[in-house]
């Protein structure tokens, strides 16, 4: 995942719970890292990455341009044999990127803070789904796979609808503020989450207007 995200131009920065057990890799076996030398237990085959660089870029380009479905590419790489040099090169690249991430994560307090913030946003997405899935106390009462998938898909669509609505409204509010000369800093905007849901009424609003004081005739 580290290598593929790097090729696609994304920074994959997960929080690693078992950080002390993670293995770091060096580029050259003969390079010494002083006090950190003991934690570099493996060596990356840089020559293999260079050899397979063009095919790796083509894989990334096919994903970015959507000429190949992501699940097909990932399944193919996951099912590859140990002798598959392309898959091995991607793994080696991932080790380089992961090693850099671990080293940065270990000493950069601001990076750790950003990673925790993203994890909190992920939990906020789950909280939104739990709020919307109010029927049957948020539990699946059926065992049929297709019915469950239908419900999961519907919940995903509903969650995305809330996200889109919030995003549009946030954009309108920011535009209105800036139109009156109140500039919204990017640092402040980064703290605003489109996952807010206190204003959402999951069960809907039911109105029963009475047009007159008389009861309607029964049919």
Whose CA is closest to 112, among 13, 2, 9, 11?
13
Does this model's pTM top 0.75? Answer: no
Residue 142 has a pLDDT of 64
SS (H, E, C) 5-72: HHHCCCCCCCCCCCHHHCCEEECCCCCCCHHHHHHEEEECCHHHHHHCHHHHHHHHHHHHCCCCCHHH
Residue 211 has a pLDDT of 65
Q: Is the pLDDT higher at 137 or at 5?
A: 5
- Can you give the length of the chain in residues? 219
pLDDT tens digit string along 42-99?
888 888 888 888 888 888 888 888 887 777 777 777 777 777 888 888 888 888 888 8
Q: Give the pair of three-digit tokens for residue 44.
A: 């990356």
Determine contact, residues 152/144, Cβ cutoff 8 Å.
no
Q: Give the pair of three-digit tokens for residue 217.
A: 């005739």
Determine contact, residues 194/166, Cβ cutoff 8 Å.
yes
pLDDT tens digit string along 105-140?
878 888 778 777 777 776 777 788 888 886 655 566
Residue 215 has a pLDDT of 63
pLDDT tens digit string along 144-153?
777 778 777 8
pLDDT tens digit string along 160-216?
888 898 899 988 988 998 888 888 888 787 778 888 888 888 777 777 777 666 666
Instruction: State the pLDDT confidence band at 18, using cuts at 50, 70 and 90.
Output: confident
Close Cβ partners of 129 (under 8 Å, ≥ 6 residues apart)? 155, 159
Q: Report how far apart, in Å, the C-alpha atoms of 148 and of each of 127, 145, 155, 157 are.
A: 19, 5, 11, 14
Residue 63 has a pLDDT of 81
Domain coordinates in residue numbering, the chain: 2-107, 110-189
Determine contact, residues 92/56, Cβ cutoff 8 Å.
no
- How many other CB atoms sit within 10 Å of the CB of residue 57? 11
């Amino acid at each position: 995942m580290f290598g593929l995200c790097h090729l696609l131009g994304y920074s994959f920065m997960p929080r690693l719970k078992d950080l002390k057990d993670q293995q770091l890799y060096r580029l050259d076996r003969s390079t010494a890292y002083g006090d950190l030398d003991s934690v570099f237990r493996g060596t990356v085959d840089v020559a293999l990455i260079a050899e397979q660089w063009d095919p790796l870029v083509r894989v990334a380009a096919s994903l970015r341009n959507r000429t190949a479905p992501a699940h097909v590419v990932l399944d193919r790489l996951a099912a590859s044999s140990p002798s598959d040099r392309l898959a091995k090169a991607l793994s080696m690249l991932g080790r380089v990127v992961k090693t850099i991430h671990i080293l940065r994560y270990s000493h950069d307090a601001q990076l750790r803070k950003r990673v925790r913030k993203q994890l909190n946003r992920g939990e906020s997405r789950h909280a939104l789904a739990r709020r919307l899935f109010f029927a049957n106390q948020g539990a699946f009462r059926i065992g049929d796979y297709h019915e469950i998938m239908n419900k999961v898909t519907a919940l995903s669509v509903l969650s995305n609808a809330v996200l889109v609505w919030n995003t549009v409204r946030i954009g309108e509010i920011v535009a209105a503020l800036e139109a009156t000369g109140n500039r919204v800093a990017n640092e402040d905007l980064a703290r605003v989450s489109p996952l807010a849901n206190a204003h959402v009424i999951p069960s809907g609003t039911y109105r029963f207007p009475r047009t007159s004081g008389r009861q309607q005739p029964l049919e």
